[in-house]
Chain A
Amino acid sequence: MKYEVTIGLETHVELDTASKIFCACGGHSSPKEPNDCVCPACSGMPGMLPVMNKRVVEKAVTAGLMLNCEINRYATFDKKNYYYPDLPCAYQITQLFHPICVNGKVEVTTKDGVSMIGIKQIHMEEDAGKLVHDEWTDTSLVDFNRTSVPLIEIVTHPDFHSAEEVLSYLEMLKSMFRFGKISECEEGAMRCDVNISVRPEGQTELGVRTEIKNMSSFTSIERAIKYETARHIDALERQTEVLVQETRRWDDTKGRTFAMRNKETEADYRYFPDPNLMPIVIDDAWLDEIKSAMPKKPEVKAAEYAEMGISEKEIEVLTGERNLCDLLDGVVALGASVKDAVAWILTECAGVLRKNGQVLSDLQITPEKLAKIIAMVADGKINRGAGKKVLTAVIEKDVDPEEFARENSLDANTDESAVAAVVDKVLAADPKSVEDYKNGKTKVFQALFGACMRELRGTADPMVIKKLLEEKLK
């Protein structure tokens, strides 16, 4: 018999914000040590009140727009109750009754084709803290740095039918959120709960559903889905066990899922509206503001670039990093030609980074500075080699390009007579080579050219030197 697997996904993504969702402690990239980004509010002490971080709303709405959701113009917060030491107030502030985004959809491509995945909703909530097992004392240590870090949870309809689709969706979310500056989605910043059921092909009602909670590595998610699918099929086919609706966890070492103890699964979370947080109302003006601040989707950007004459290969690299698109657009807006801008970013910048063991996503340079360097070279103020030196200094030490060129005497010697004087001097100092050249040994030209370049310390346009040398050796 053939079987069909049906999967729904709940994906939690930590948002990149400077501060937490309800208090001013540093956001998810801030902590250096345990509990160094904690205050009375996010460690459960009484007296402080939650005040909503506006940026979180904007990022959640941006995510919703990217996933083709309807934006709820009226959104509220609710409290979810349960006890666990990583939840300092024993409640989590989340959205149940009026989530921020609903009814989205997104296309997912695998080798088997394209499928449409429905997004049920996106809601905002606070993250929980972390527990670390302490071997020395055999106790658990509680770290509240992650408590109240803003999350969005993206809930799909059960529209996936293979692990490949799930992975493709997750990869797409990740690149979309990085591109939209919603989240860098580093390891652990994206966590999934997977709902899974299996039925014989042709059967209308879904099979027994199990949920595998809290997985963050894509490899684990794939393995867990495959294991769980096989377990369900075994149970259906050979009655190896009776399937029950339950919550399970993935054991990465043993490579299998296991049921969580009952207490965790049968909770009644007793949600109710949070009286301390006022409703969020998103009017047209605010929505337009968020939309206009939104980056274009990678595919839109790619079409734009193709029209500008950028090659497919280059487009692929550029649209892989939102920062590169911003840089390119900025540099072009400041007057650089598209060809120069692309070459400087993809060849020269990449070269500098490579030498330092970095890649293009590590690039830190403002469009203003890069445009300045490109203009200096294009205008002949410095030659390309000097341009690379300036670029290296800008990337490594964030110097001012013009000042650096001046201080290091990299300014191109555009005064032909000055270059001519140097050429004359070089030729006068080496009559033997001149003689040789005139006798047909043309390969000494390179040596003379090199001597001129050295004398001018690379500040002159090589084409000018070459032209003068040729003239004077005739």
Chain B
Amino acid sequence: MRDYITEASGNIAVDDMILVKDMQATAGSHMLEGFVPLFSAEAVERLENKGYSIAGKANVGEFGLDLVGEFSYYGAAAEGENLCGGSAKLVKDGSVKAALGVDLNGAPRRSAALSGVAFMKPTYGTVSRYGVIPCACSGEQIGVYAPNMKAMQEVLSVIAGHDAKDGTSLMHETYDYDTDLEISGVKVAIIKEMLEAASEDSRAKVLAYAENLKKKGVVVEEVSFELARAAQSAWQILMAAETCNNLSRYDGVKFGYRTPNYENIDELYVGSRTEGFNLLTKQTILYGSDVLSKNRYKVCYDKSLKVRRVVADAMKAMLSSYDAVLTPVCSEMQYTAYDISDAFKNVFKESFFTAIPNLIGIPALSVGGVQLMGNHFDESLLMSLAKSVEGMGA
């Protein structure tokens, strides 16, 4: 067991998926127990250079693969119906001003929604991934947990910008984020399929949020986006395969956990990985490995890479008629404890609401228990929409 921050000793918390020099980094996994990184993530460095201080590491579910951090080796971030650890809770309690998290399959957006704070997954490539414990490199991004849009804008402005140490980092040196864009007349689409898939309380959240936006002069319409299911399936395949590949480095040889019971290299590998990973991680690895196998590559992985383009084009078309998209972010507004043997299914089910931004790199803001998505680089519009209804209740 390890200690996570409970009281503020700095003003920024950092998810344990992100490296801070000399602070143990575990990604919530037994596999990385005792791993102390030799350098800090670019986002962390940028914050420190601007005078922010790192309060410490916040607990995450193993490799960020679960719903809201419920399956960490170091004590769940969720128990029963309570979210009792992790960045979202620290921000909610006011222990820190904001927190950094890695969004690879929606967990930060969900935990923010259930904790009553905001999380922004920005446009892919705006925040350097240097120093992120990698899983699904083609779609994961560092994002910000914040109590309000002012803090969101402030922290996001610091961490965004080109970094030569990340070959996918976009060339913009800085980003000017604005939370006060004119939103009257802005058109927002609600994705009908997602609204229908959500339970009553989550749907009510979205509709109430839409009502508040309308009061500010925003036009809200329900629209069909038929590719939502395909986006979910495609991201599941890409995410699992890339995660499988990235987690293959954890083998008990170089750092972290090594099984005490081995006679030869195979026993060392199998023992370390079997004992070091939880069931959800193992299932993700096996599924991700299978979709890459010779006889499945064409119909699974290659197909998903093509569907990604189809979804990106369709979303681009939608966002030429509308300025932003509003959807539920979770199927239910209440977390309920469950057994890890159901985790893979449950997370896949919930990813219906969160997969599109990971799949095609658009920004997504989890705020007020709902999700706003926009075109690439439209973070300012999303924050302005959210800010206009801040404090209006839902």
Contact = CB atoms under 8 A, between A and B. Distances in A.
Interface of A: 40, 43-52, 79, 81, 83, 85, 88-91, 142, 268, 270-273, 275-278
A40 B38 contact: yes
B137 A88 contact: no
Nearest to B27: A46
A83 B267 CA distance: 13
A51 B253 contact: no
Contacts of A276: 137, 167-168
Interface string B7-45: 000000000000100000101000000010111010000
A45 B38 CA distance: 10
Contacts of A271: 292, 297
Interface string B131-146: 1111001100000000
Nearest to A142: B253
A88 B254 contact: yes
Given A268-B293, A270-B245, 12 more contacts: A45-B38, A45-B254, A47-B39, A49-B168, A51-B165, A83-B251, A85-B253, A268-B294, A272-B242, A275-B242, A276-B137, A277-B167
A51 B41 contact: no
Contact of A40 (B39, B167, B246, B297): B39
A47 B255 contact: no
Contacts of A46: 19, 25, 27, 132-134, 246, 249
Nearest to A86: B253
Contact of A49 (B27, B130, B248, B292): B130
Which 7 residue pairs across A and B have the least CB separation, nearest first? A275-B138, A90-B248, A270-B292, A46-B133, A44-B249, A89-B249, A275-B137
Contact of B133 (A43, A47, A50, A85): A47
A48 B248 contact: no
B241 interface: yes
A75 to B, nearest CB: 15
Interface in B89-146: 129-134, 137-138
A132 to B, nearest CB: 15
Contacts of A49: 129-130, 134, 165-168
B12 to A, nearest CB: 18
Contacts, number: 93
Interface in B356-376: none
A275 B245 CA distance: 12
Contacts of B297: 270-272
Interface in B299-349: 301, 305
Interface string B161-175: 000111110000000
B167 A52 contact: yes
A275 B168 contact: yes
Contacts of A50: 167
B103 to A, nearest CB: 16
Contacts of B292: 81, 270-272
A454 to B, nearest CB: 66
Main secondary structure of the interface of B (DSSP, over half): loop
6 contacts: A46-B133, A47-B37, A51-B167, A83-B248, A270-B245, A275-B138
Nearest to B254: A44
A43 B254 contact: yes
Nearest to A90: B248
Contacts of B380: none
Contacts of B165: 48-49, 51
Given A268-B293, A275-B138, A276-B137, A90 B251 contact: yes
A47 B132 contact: yes
A46 B166 CA distance: 13
B268 to A, nearest CB: 9
Contacts of A48: 130, 165
A91 B242 CA distance: 11
A271 B297 CA distance: 9
B131 A270 contact: no
A83 B38 CA distance: 25
A12 B249 CA distance: 24
B168 A278 contact: yes
B265 interface: yes
Contacts of B38: 40, 45
B4 interface: no
A350 B299 CA distance: 65
B52 interface: no
Contacts of B245: 79, 81, 91, 270, 272
Instruction: Give the one of A47, A88, A272 with max B CB within 10 A.
Output: A47
Contacts of B287: none
A49 B265 CA distance: 27
Most buried by B among A91, A276, A277: A276
Nearest to B270: A83
Contacts of A142: 253
A139 B41 CA distance: 35
B130 A45 contact: no
Contacts of A91: 245, 248
Contacts of B168: 49, 275-276, 278
Interface string B237-275: 000011001101101011100000000010001000000
A46 B249 CA distance: 8
B301 A272 contact: yes
B289 interface: yes
Contact of B131 (A43, A47, A81, A90): A47
Contacts of B293: 268, 270
Contacts of B242: 272, 275
Contacts of B241: 272
A271 to B, nearest CB: 8
Contacts of B134: 46-47, 49
A83 B269 contact: yes
A47 B45 CA distance: 14
B212 to A, nearest CB: 38
Contacts of B25: 46
Contacts of B249: 44-46, 88-90
Given A142-B253, A276-B167, A278-B168, A47 B138 contact: no
Contacts of A40: 37-39
Contacts of B265: 85
A154 B18 CA distance: 39
Contacts of B131: 47
B130 A47 contact: yes
A73 to B, nearest CB: 20
Nearest to A82: B248
Contacts of A52: 167
